[in-house]
A and B are shown apart, each in its own frame.
Chain A
Amino acid sequence: MDRLGSWSTLQLTEFLAVVSACGDEDSAMRSGMERAAEALEAEVAALVSETEVLAAVGFAEGALPHRDLLAAARGEEHCLQIPGAGAAAVAAIPVGEEPSRQLLLARGGDEAFGQEELNLLRGMARVLTLTLRVVGALDIERALRKKTQREVRERKQAEQQLAHQALHDDLTGLPNRSLLLDRINHALALAKRHGATVAVLFADLDHFKRINDSLGHPLGDQLLIAVAARLGEALRVSDTVSRPATDTLARFGGDEFVVLCEGLKDERDATEIAERIGAVLARPFVLGDEQIFMTASVGVAVADDLASAESLVRDADAALYRVKEHGRAGYELFDDDMRVRVIERLQRENELRQAIDRDELRLFYQPIVDVNDSHIVGVEALIRWEHPERGLVSPAEFIPLAEETGMIVAIGNWVLEAACRQAAQWRDARSPLGDLSVAINVSARQLDARLPDVVSRVLRDTALDPQLLALEITETVVMDQTEAPVEVLQRLRALGVRLHLDDFGTGYSSLSYLQRLPLHALKLDRSFITGLGDSQETFRIVAAVVEMARALDMTLIAEGVETERELACLQDLGCQFAQGYHFARPMPAEAMTQHLGGRPQPPAASPSLTR
């Protein structure tokens, strides 16, 4: 008995070690059942509930005596007939949390299970029960851990996705502007160390806007994807380890693509890539039923020692601009001439920036008159830059620069405020000018959702009658953008200000589109007025425009009237208002007061712009 005693203790530690190593409930039960049988040299082991045999070992396949085992579990049988092994004594011990579950062992031969063996078996059953409880908890824990790991993984993926999105273009999957600038800086640093040449190619698709306009944005997007793939063909594949010659293609936005070229021998390598870009784009693009021919203008800039990512891209852009000037579909290498112009432009940019701060901008006013009696019905405020060295600079010289750099918004707001202040001043001075409307030009970049708020604030600050303010918006601006301006214009109109369509005739306004816009007046572009009396055709066109304005119930103002003959034609055609050198040049506010003072006052019931 002593020997058996120490033996059974050892069996229990071994059993505990084996069963607790099982990872799940099923294997713990099966393993526990087997180990108990092995320890007690039983031929047969089974796990049995009240109604079924959950697991069994020692029976040949298909020879499981269900009924006998269930009876033994209920304590009705103490001996089992095991096929091939004869009669076997049975031991049954409850196991697990469910009281009805029993561990059955059956051992052949004469020997019944002794008390010590039954004690061991109870110990094993207890160990198994505790293990199953732990394993059950582990199962839950494992499921939770799996869930957490999945969540962490998903979050990480989402973060990576976001990081990727932040640096890549959604449409083409190419690096975006910020990633490319980063790469360029990296390439410049490398090139400095290894003495290789870096270049940037700035490619702009020619007339891409027409594709979007005529075939729709979805097709335009498809074309951009196809162009991105085609551009990829023009790039060099890195072929040497010692001198990595790699090109990186990025989309800068819209139809602008930029290529970073590393490991170049000289600028010839860069222009070769530009030539290849021209070649790969020469094959037509087939999208659905459409065959599309596409060219690109490419500006090439090769880095010098002082280059930064920004300067290199800017230089390539300047070279691109030159290609556009020369009729597109080709490439230009950024050269010293361009460098000089770029530097000049940078200087002007700086000067213009300072112009606002230094109060160098001025407003000139040009009268708008009734063509029949030449009395003044309103004024248009026109900007001038009083440059400290160059004198008065015409807007044609600096407005495009302001548009490109975005300074136009600040300048436009200054114009708005200055004009309104002037109008209020005229009103407060009880000048006859105080009753006239002041028109100002609104740039495309100003015409966004914030504009009505700005206008509203300025009107409030100056207590100006909204009717006295007219906003002139060029036809092309309204036509280029689609839905958004209509809403902005409606909000502006709701403020009570007047809306004039400037440069009318230069865009492509359709009658139906004009009808949808909340406009008060059309300003007929000067190109229709110049030589009005000399060309029958122009005369007929203006006649049609007059009719159209009448049909749309809009006021028509003719711009750029310079001769008596032009004025006479307008009178004949029934165009009501006009402005131009024939009446008066733009002049400072004080001169305007004098100018008005020497002119006849309008009759009380005559037409006005504030009607």
Chain B
Amino acid sequence: VGAEAKLLVVFSSDRYDLEQLIGAINERSGGVPLIGCSTAGEIATSGPGDSGVVVVALGGSGLSVATAAATGASERLREAGAEVASSLKEVGAGPEHRVLLMLTDGLAGDQQEIVRGAYGVAGAGVPLVGGCAGDDLKMKVTAQLYGDRVLHDAVVGAAVASEAPLGIGVRHGWRRVGEPMLVTESSSNRVFVLDGRPALDVYLERLQAPEDARSDPAVFTRFALTHPLGLSRRSAEEQVRFVGEANFEDRSLGCIAEVPQGAMVWLMEGDAESVQAATDDACGEALAALEGRPPLGMLAFDCIARRGVLGDQGIHQEVERIAGHAGGAPVAGFYTYGEIARTHGMSGFHNQTLVVLALS
């Protein structure tokens, strides 16, 4: 990206001893500011992979960077978002284009609250982009990397200011299936009752879920990956909510972000074709913002659920497509538990979505 590295972004499988890993990276980089997170799969120019490590360096004379971290996020989601966004104050008022890159613990609670907190500080002038750390679908604990520290239940971020334009693209490619359901009882990101009945029962029945998904949490999570909920939004695409887990005792569904009580939700479906089409659209949207300049690199935050729809073959094709749009510039990213992209409006948290950041 440039001769002088200003920021290292690390995406790594949690199979590694992350402390040792970033220790080694810091030793080699000489302490360049670093953020990163654990993943549910890594994306590099060469293709997608598991159990790997991807390191990307951002730099160059036209770039300035400041990093921040907030811990104990689950107890103070909004504050954590705001704290990380305050790094924007340190990148100076000079460069025209800014973005706040955020990596969060998707298991910490309603991610939209983190985005709201960051938005409250950043304001409409600064796009937010990033994703939720993964743990290879174990849904137990994820890590956020900050300098030489491995954090959990945290938000890490980097304020990036650039003289050259930055572009962001967001697409999912899912569509509604069947009739909507009323969220009759929910609390933040937990859905208890749909259409007056236990949410899990309604969900399993409507989707005619296989037997083992009805009792085995791991099987359920894999099944739910490709069966998200959609919330009605003003603009064309529904806001998609990734169903991460189910409580077989109280029959509730756990989503990665808020599903408001009183909302209408749809079951959503996607296929390889629509998901791949969304990849092209997201990249196109990001590149369009570069005002004709060629990209110097692209960061991809790709939902783990899209992986489920595309299959192993499909994700190779997807990453090839992204690399194609990059036109030879490096591509780095990871499979996420939720994506952050706020370019217009105030909502900026997505599920089952591909978010692309193009740098020029």
B346→A14 contact, CB < 8 A: no
Interface string of A34-75 (1 = CB under 8 A from B): 100111111111000000000001111101000000000000
* 26 contacts across the A-B interface (CB closer than 8 A): A4-B234, A7-B232, A10-B232, A13-B263, A14-B260, A16-B262, A17-B262, A21-B261, A34-B346, A40-B234, A41-B345, A41-B347, A43-B345, A45-B346, A57-B119, A57-B346, A58-B124, A60-B126, A61-B89, A61-B121, A63-B123, A63-B125, A82-B123, A84-B98, A84-B124, A108-B344
CB of B259, distance to nearest CB on chain A (Å): 10
Report how far A85 CA is from B89 CA in the complex, Å: 18
Interface size on A, residues (CB 8 A): 34
Task: Please report which residues of chain B, range 56-105, place their CB below 8 angstroms from some CB of chain A when the two chains form the complex.
Answer: 86, 88-89, 98
**Chain B: number of interface residues, binned into ranges:** 20 to 34
B346→A43 contact, CB < 8 A: yes
Q: Which residues of A contact B264 (CB under 8 A)?
A: 10, 13-14
Seen from chain A, the residues whose Cβ lies within 8 Å of a Cβ on chain B are 4, 7, 10-11, 13-18, 21, 34, 37-45, 57-61, 63, 82-85, 107-109
Q: Which residues of B contact A39 (CB under 8 A)?
A: 234
B260→A17 contact, CB < 8 A: yes
B125→A83 contact, CB < 8 A: yes
With A7-B234, A84-B124 given, is the CB distance from A42 to B262 under 8 Å? no
A38→B262 contact, CB < 8 A: no
A82→B345 contact, CB < 8 A: no
B262→A58 contact, CB < 8 A: no
Report how far A40 CA is from B233 CA in the complex, Å: 9
Seen from chain B, the residues whose Cβ lies within 8 Å of a Cβ on chain A are 86, 88-89, 98, 116, 119-126, 182-183, 232-235, 260-264, 344-347
Closest A residue to B116 by CB, please name it.
Answer: A34
CB of B265, distance to nearest CB on chain A (Å): 10
CB of B66, distance to nearest CB on chain A (Å): 15
CB of A69, distance to nearest CB on chain B (Å): 14
With A13-B263, A17-B262, A108-B344 given, is the CB distance from A41 to B234 under 8 Å? yes
Report how far A7 CA is from B347 CA in the complex, Å: 17
**Chain A residues touching B, majority SS:** mixed
Q: Which residues of A contact B126 (CB under 8 A)?
A: 60, 84
CB of A122, distance to nearest CB on chain B (Å): 16
Q: Which residues of B contact A17 (CB under 8 A)?
A: 183, 260-263
Q: Which residues of B contact A7 (CB under 8 A)?
A: 232, 234
CB of A118, distance to nearest CB on chain B (Å): 13
A59→B123 contact, CB < 8 A: yes
CB of B329, distance to nearest CB on chain A (Å): 25
Q: Which residues of B contact A38 (CB under 8 A)?
A: 345-347
Q: Which residues of A contact B183 (CB under 8 A)?
A: 17
Q: Which residues of A contact B260 (CB under 8 A)?
A: 14, 17-18
CB of B196, distance to nearest CB on chain A (Å): 14
With A17-B262, A21-B261 given, is the CB distance from A43 to B121 under 8 Å? no
Report how far A10 CA is from B125 CA in the complex, Å: 29
Leading 6 A-B pairs by shortest Cβ distance? A84-B125, A17-B262, A41-B345, A60-B123, A43-B124, A17-B261
Report how far A58 CA is from B119 CA in the complex, Å: 6
Most buried by B among A7, A43, A44: A43
With A7-B232, A7-B234, A17-B263 given, is the CB distance from A42 to B345 under 8 Å? yes
A60→B344 contact, CB < 8 A: no
B263→A10 contact, CB < 8 A: yes
With A57-B120, A60-B122, A60-B125 given, is the CB distance from A109 to B263 under 8 Å? no
B262→A44 contact, CB < 8 A: no
Most buried by B among A21, A34, A82, A84: A84
Q: Which residues of B contact A11 (CB under 8 A)?
A: 232, 234
CB of A81, distance to nearest CB on chain B (Å): 11
* Other A-B pairs beyond A17-B261, A39-B234, A60-B125, 14, CB < 8 Å: A7-B234, A11-B232, A14-B263, A21-B261, A37-B345, A41-B233, A41-B235, A41-B344, A43-B346, A58-B123, A59-B124, A61-B121, A83-B123, A84-B125
Report how far A37 CA is from B347 CA in the complex, Å: 9
Cβ 8 A contact of B344, one of A15, A34, A57, A109: A109
Q: Which residues of A contact B86 (CB under 8 A)?
A: 61
B234→A84 contact, CB < 8 A: no
CB of B77, distance to nearest CB on chain A (Å): 14
Q: Which residues of B contact A18 (CB under 8 A)?
A: 260-262
Q: Which residues of A contact B122 (CB under 8 A)?
A: 60
Report how far A523 CA is from B126 CA in the complex, Å: 109
Q: Which residues of B contact A14 (CB under 8 A)?
A: 260, 262-264
Q: Which residues of A contact B233 (CB under 8 A)?
A: 41
Report how far A84 CA is from B263 CA in the complex, Å: 32
Report how far A16 CA is from B119 CA in the complex, Å: 23
CB of B24, distance to nearest CB on chain A (Å): 37
A60→B121 contact, CB < 8 A: yes
Report how far A60 CA is from B262 CA in the complex, Å: 31
CB of B206, distance to nearest CB on chain A (Å): 19
Report how far A14 CA is from B116 CA in the complex, Å: 18
B346→A58 contact, CB < 8 A: yes
Report how far A61 CA is from B126 CA in the complex, Å: 12
Report how far A37 CA is from B121 CA in the complex, Å: 16
Q: Which residues of A contact B262 (CB under 8 A)?
A: 13-18
Q: Which residues of B contact A44 (CB under 8 A)?
A: 124
Q: Which residues of A contact B116 (CB under 8 A)?
A: 34
Report how far A46 CA is from B151 CA in the complex, Å: 35
Report how far A596 CA is from B63 CA in the complex, Å: 135
Q: Which residues of A contact B234 (CB under 8 A)?
A: 4, 7, 11, 39-41
Closest A residue to B259 by CB, please name it.
Answer: A14
Q: Which residues of A contact B124 (CB under 8 A)?
A: 43-44, 58-59, 82-85, 108
With A44-B124, A85-B125 given, is the CB distance from A37 to B261 under 8 Å? no
Q: Which residues of B contact A13 (CB under 8 A)?
A: 182, 262-264
Most buried by A among B120, B126, B345, B347: B345
Closest A residue to B112 by CB, please name it.
Answer: A38
Report how far A78 CA is from B320 CA in the complex, Å: 46
Q: Which residues of B contact A83 (CB under 8 A)?
A: 123-125
Report how far A34 CA is from B345 CA in the complex, Å: 10
CB of A403, distance to nearest CB on chain B (Å): 73
B123→A84 contact, CB < 8 A: yes
Most buried by B among A10, A37, A44: A10
